[in-house]
Amino acid sequence: DVKVTQSSRYLVKRTGEKVFLECVQDMDHENMFWYRQDPGLGLRLIYFSYDVKMKEKGDIPEGYSVSREKKERFSLILESASTNQTSMYLCASTGPTADTQYFGPGTRLTVL
Amino acid sequence: AQSVAQPEDQVNVAEGNPLTVKCTYSVSGNPYLFWYVQYPNRGLQFLLKYITGDNLVKGSYGFEAEFNKSQTSFHLKKPSALVSDSALYFCAVRDRGSSASKIIFGSGTRLSIRP
């Protein structure tokens, strides 16, 4: 069975802290995505990776960075967390045809 | 530019009645179209997709959707709603010729099925 896991379901951090969100997929997928989900705004793409060490900015990359050192793992980094980064963060992956996305359970991040 | 619209924030249906969740899209070429469902405190789950072929697509949990090119729509339907169908539904679109990163999600429609 396909599986995408995220390191935390809930996370509370303070303003200015460095935050790491990790995502692991076991499907040998090339493509991995980080989205944030906010009410009424749907999903917005933060970053996309199409291969190890390769990344592409999405629609809202400001304040975020990513790392993909291994094919199965894609990390999202908030260098200095701010209250406007309080959100649900979703990781997803797709295979070479890049159609169906498989999502992790999400991390609900609160920045105080 | 690509876009997708879900015109209804919320849809309320009585159990046993048919349901429709609307989606319209805009792409410059031919679309890939998707529906995903999100249950409370969960990630999104794939329901169905249109890639090519038959305009009527059948998916998980008895859902189906019809690709209508002239109306640029991909409405999600089910003949008889269940209380367990209550969830948040997202339509998504990608231009077939575009990068995998260029998938666009709608804002979501909350489906509420009353017993």
What is the CA B45 to chain-centroid distance, rounded?
12
Residue A103 main-chain phi, psi, to 5 deg? -105, 150
Question: Exposed/middle/buried for A96, CB within 10 Å: 0-12, 13-18, 19+?
Answer: exposed
pLDDT at A9: 93
pLDDT at A104: 95
Question: Which amino acid belongs to residue A65?
Answer: S
Distance in Å, alpha carbon of B29 to nearest chain A alpha carbon: 16
Which has the closest alpha carbon to A89: A71, A99, A75? A75
Token look-up 């295979």 returns A95
Tabulate helix, strand, coil % of chain B (nearest 5): 10, 50, 40
- A106 → closest Cβ in B43, B99, B106: B43
Confidence band for A82, pLDDT divided at 50, 70 and 90 = very high
Residues of B in contact with A100 (CB under 8 A): 34, 46, 49
Distance in Å, alpha carbon of A32 to nearest chain B alpha carbon: 9
Size of interface A-B (CB pairs under 8 A): 60
DSSP A36: E
Angstrom CA distances, B7 to A8, A95, B10, stand at: 33, 31, 9
pLDDT at A1: 67
Distance in Å, alpha carbon of B79 to nearest chain A alpha carbon: 25
Residue A84 main-chain phi, psi, to 5 deg? -75, 0
Q: What residues of chain B score a pLDDT lower than 70? A: none
Checking if the pLDDT of A72 tops 80, the result is yes
pLDDT at B29: 83
